[in-house]
């Protein structure tokens, strides 16, 4: 244990009873967990099989096993380790009969789970445009994460549908098929211990010490699982960082780690604050950002590395200029000797990837999207492109088949086969055949497409003049956008926002005077990852991924785009009040602490959001930081930007008004004493002011 620092050593050698190890980013938490287990075995005489180590991923469990074996040899293999779900499954194999399940029950996979829910909704005569299967599954999972059975779930009416009743039906059919879903594994273990005291006591006697990693990510049912399992001996060691609690949206409850000392009286607390990953300058920024959160354990990361270069903050003209500036920076890091795979662009919203994908491909830079799909691979984007292609006379049979029943038009699989045969037999191209359908010239199942065909025909003259127009009208009037609402408010908003982003991309691309067919070719290249595009994971490439998926990873060079109001913090978080803002601040902290050597943050003066042009303010998380924390690099504005007489204000300048508060200049007009400025204020909206009398100050 000679390589442990004093704080790590104190945590390793702590006695019995509850122990809270607050492990800051890059502070060697895995090393500390491994050595504590080793100490329990070698110095305290605890039998390896009497120790349970709980992780959140199979990868983490495998790494723990491997490193433990390296430290203490064969004894490491005797430690029981795994995820909450894996350990629960192991316990249920032994005790399932107490819940009236056979020991041979199976865990239903995602495809079968969705198919089961679809059958339930069909039996109940509930169409997908009224209640989407994925929304119902998400609601049921939310209840299970909260530790609620179908009987305990809150009453919930969605579009006139009783969700609690469907939850009950879903559980009944799972039981009839002798199946449990993934979330059932933990909940049913909790039910075992809630309802069967003898089983609870047996399980409590099974282990002498329990250790849990990433404790800040536990949800209520996992918390109860641990509480029940440790009730006898209270030898619970949890390792986590409240400053990295970023999964509240999927049920994680930060109070479990914040209130650990209250919940577990007499708990020992250990702070790991020495960071072995990042430079001092990066950690200074991270500490300054997270210190603004009030409800947190007091701690501050200290660098063991050199001070290094200041993180950069660059203000760009729009999201495409932002992507170009990012590409330029990535190339500069490459020229400085850093490998592509040691660079990452971490964004708040997946829709930010569109501009990045397009520009990085144009610049010939290799990239890969991790843990998600490319923009053009998303279901709603494929659907929207199919509609657009048919509207603009370049759609084919496959695209027609894709959207013929989206939204539902009563055209099932047999109907689609008939449509395909009718189209093939006509010898016409898809858009020509649709014109014939619109005129009533095709009978049979094609009649169900007549309203759509007539709508496309009515919008085509507009599209012929302006090919970038008409998409949103077509999707709205066809009922497609309304059909997305069945997925739930947040999911629908995200998908519709992606479609607006596509519309913006179409507008910008068609300005290059290309044909609709040429546009579809470009989209196909982006979708397939040809040319520079998405490289294989084993090849050298820049990583593009969301901030949420980046947790636990580290890179030499990191870019965080869109550090601005409405993105980071996200608009949904702003609507959630202080709790939402605090989690967004933690998300930025996670992003900052992924960087080892170099960090760049970017903000756009103008960004398209939800189909509208916005003039975002820089994120509150960085706006009021001391100037010494960041090296600000603001490129020259576009040719349309004009300066006022004093030369210190221009389009994109942040200003302060005595009455309207904070804002950003979005336009200048006039000259001399007649200059008028248009300002987007944070609270007061857009105002046009005479600059001479406006009393604006640089913010």
Q: Find the range with the poorest average confidence among 371-385, 488-502, 570-584, 667-681.
A: 667-681
Quickly state the pLDDT bin for 633 (edges 50, 70, 90): confident
Q: Is the pLDDT of residue 365 over 70?
A: yes
Q: How far apart are the first and last CA of the chain?
A: 52
Tens-place pLDDT, residues 161-218? 999 999 999 999 999 888 899 899 999 999 999 999 999 999 999 999 999 999 999 9
Listed by start position, the domains of the chain span: 6-90+187-272, 109-176, 302-374+534-612, 376-523, 654-698
pLDDT of residue 350: 85
Share of the chain above pLDDT 90, in %: 56
Tens-place pLDDT, residues 276-288? 999 999 999 999 9
For 353, other C-beta atoms within 10 Å of its C-beta total 26
For 578, counting Cβ atoms within 10 Å of its Cβ (0-12 exposed, 13-18 middle, 19+ buried), the class is exposed
Tens-place pLDDT, residues 535-547? 444 468 999 999 9
Yes or no: say if 356 and 326 are a contact pair by the CB < 8 Å rule: yes
pLDDT of residue 529: 46
Q: Is the pLDDT of residue 637 over 70?
A: no
Which residues participate in catalysis according to the annotation?
29-30, 213-214, 244, 594
Look at residue 435 and give its three-state secondary structure.
helix
CA distances from 607 to 102, 478, 612 (A): 56, 28, 8
Q: Which CATH architecture has domain 6-90+187-272?
A: 3-Layer(aba) Sandwich (3.40)
CATH number of 376-523: 1.10.486.10
CATH for 302-374+534-612, among 3.30.70.20, 3.30.70.1140, 3.40.50.300, 1.25.40.10? Answer: 3.40.50.300
Bind-site residues for ATP: 23-30
Q: Find the range with the poorest average confidence among 127-136, 166-175, 488-497.
A: 488-497
Closest C-alpha to 652, from 688, 605, 592, 699: 605
Q: Is the pLDDT of residue 642 over 70?
A: no
Tens-place pLDDT, residues 242-277? 999 999 988 999 999 999 999 999 999 999 999 999
Measured CA to CA, the distance from residue 29 to residue 124 in angstroms comes to: 50
Mean pLDDT of all residues in 463-481 = 81
Measured CA to CA, the distance from residue 220 to residue 237 in angstroms comes to: 18
Look at residue 629 and give its three-state secondary structure.
helix
CATH for 109-176, among 1.10.760.10, 3.40.630.30, 1.10.10.160, 3.40.50.620? Answer: 1.10.10.160
Q: Find the range with the poorest average confidence among 54-63, 184-193, 591-600.
A: 54-63
Quickly state the pLDDT bin for 327 (edges 50, 70, 90): very high
154: left (phi over 0), alpha (psi -120 to 50) or beta: beta
Please indicate whether the domains covering 302-374+534-612 and 376-523 agree at the CATH topology level: no
Closest C-alpha to 621, from 232, 223, 143, 292: 292
pLDDT of residue 526: 64
Give the DSSP per-residue string, 442-497. --GGGGGGHHHHHHHHHHHHHHHH-TTSSHHHHHHHTTHHHHHGGG-HHHHHHHHH
Q: Find the range with the poorest average confidence among 148-157, 231-240, 557-566, 624-633.
A: 624-633
Measured CA to CA, the distance from residue 620 to residue 634 in angstroms comes to: 18
The pTM assigned to this predicted structure is 0.76
Q: Find the range with the poorest average confidence among 240-244, 269-273, 577-581, 610-614.
A: 610-614
Bind-site residues: 23-30
What integer best gives the mean pLDDT of the chain?
88
Contacts for 23 with CB less than 8 Å, ≥ 6 apart: 29, 32, 239, 240, 241, 272
Yes or no: say if 568 and 526 are a contact pair by the CB < 8 Å rule: no
Tens-place pLDDT, residues 97-123? 999 998 888 888 777 788 899 989 998
Q: Is the pLDDT of residue 648 over 70?
A: no
pLDDT of residue 655: 85
Of residues 629 and 676, the one with the higher pLDDT is 629
């Amino acid at each position: 244990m000679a390589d442990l620092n004093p704080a790590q050593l104190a945590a390793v050698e702590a006695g019995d009873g509850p122990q809270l190890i607050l492990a800051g980013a890059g502070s060697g938490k895995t090393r500390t967990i491994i050595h504590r287990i080793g100490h329990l075995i070698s110095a305290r005489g605890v039998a390896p099989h009497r120790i349970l180590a709980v992780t959140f991923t199979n990868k983490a469990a495998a790494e723990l096993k491997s490193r433990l074996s390296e430290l203490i040899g064969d004894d490491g293999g005797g430690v029981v380790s795994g995820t909450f779900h894996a350990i629960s499954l192991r316990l249920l194999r032994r005790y399932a009969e107490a819940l009236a399940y056979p020991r041979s029950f199976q865990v239903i996979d995602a495809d079968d789970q969705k198919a089961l829910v679809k059958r339930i909704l069909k039996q109940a005569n509930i169409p997908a445009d009224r209640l989407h299967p994925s929304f119902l599954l998400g609601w049921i999972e939310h209840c299970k994460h909260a530790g609620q059975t179908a009987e305990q779930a809150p009453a919930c009416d969605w579009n006139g549908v009783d969700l609690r009743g469907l939850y009950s039906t879903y559980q009944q059919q799972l039981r009839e098929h002798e199946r449990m879903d993934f979330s059932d594994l933990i909940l049913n273990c909790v039910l075992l211990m809630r309802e069967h005291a003898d089983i609870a006591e047996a399980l409590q006697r099974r282990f002498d010490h329990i250790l849990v990693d990433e404790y800040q990510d536990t949800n209520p049912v996992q918390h109860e699982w641990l509480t029940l399992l440790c009730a006898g001996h209270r030898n619970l060691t949890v390792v986590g960082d409240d400053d990295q609690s970023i999964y509240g949206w999927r049920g994680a409850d930060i109070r479990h780690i914040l209130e650990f000392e209250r919940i577990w009286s007499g708990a020992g607390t250990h702070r790991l604050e020495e960071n072995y990953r990042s430079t001092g300058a990066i950690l200074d920024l991270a500490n300054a950002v997270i210190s603004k959160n009030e409800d947190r354990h007091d701690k501050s990361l200290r660098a063991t590395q050199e001070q290094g270069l200041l993180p950069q903050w660059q203000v760009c003209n729009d999201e495409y200029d932002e992507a170009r500036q990012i590409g330029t920076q990535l190339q500069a890091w490459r020229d400085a000797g850093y490998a592509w795979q040691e660079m990452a662009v971490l964004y708040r919203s997946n829709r930010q990837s569109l501009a990045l994908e397009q520009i990085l491909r144009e610049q010939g830079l290799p990239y890969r999207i991790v843990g998600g799909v490319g923009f053009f691979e998303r279901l709603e984007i494929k659907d929207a492109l199919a509609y657009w292609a048919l509207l603009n006379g370049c759609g084919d049979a496959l695209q027609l088949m894709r959207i013929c029943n989206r939204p539902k038009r009563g055209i099932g699989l047999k109907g689609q086969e008939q449509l395909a045969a009718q189209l093939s037999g006509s010898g016409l191209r898809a858009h020509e055949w649709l014109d014939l359908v619109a005129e009533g010239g095709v009978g049979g199942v094609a009649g169900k497409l007549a309203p759509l065909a007539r709508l496309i025909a009515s919008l085509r003259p507009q599209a012929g003049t302006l090919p970038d127009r008409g998409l949103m009208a077509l999707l709205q009037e066809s009922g497609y956008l309304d059909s997305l609402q069945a997925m739930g408010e947040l999911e629908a908003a995200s998908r519709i926002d992606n479609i607006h982003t596509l519309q913006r991309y179409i507008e910008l691309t068609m300005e290059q005077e290309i044909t609709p067919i040429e546009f579809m070719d470009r989209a196909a290249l982006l979708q397939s990852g040809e040319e520079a595009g998405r490289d294989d994971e084993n090849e050298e490439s820049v990583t593009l991924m969301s901030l949420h998926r980046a947790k636990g990873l580290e890179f030499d060079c990191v870019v965080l785009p869109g550090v601005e109001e409405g993105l980071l913090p996200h608009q949904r978080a702003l609507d959630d009040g202080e709790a939402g803002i605090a989690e967004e601040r933690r998300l930025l902290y996670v992003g900052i602490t992924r960087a080892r050597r170099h960090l760049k943050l970017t903000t756009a003066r103008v960004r398209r959001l939800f189909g509208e042009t916005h003039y975002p303010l820089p994120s509150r998380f960085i706006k009021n930081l001391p100037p010494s924390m960041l090296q600000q690099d603001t490129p020259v504005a576009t040719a349309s930007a004009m300066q006022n007489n004093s030369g210190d204000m221009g389009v994109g300048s942040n200003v302060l008004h005595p009455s309207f508060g904070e804002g950003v200049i979005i336009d200048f007009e006039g000259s001399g004493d007649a200059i008028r400025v248009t300002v987007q204020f944070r609270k007061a909206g857009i105002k046009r002011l005479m600059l001479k009398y406006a009393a604006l100050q640089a913010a």
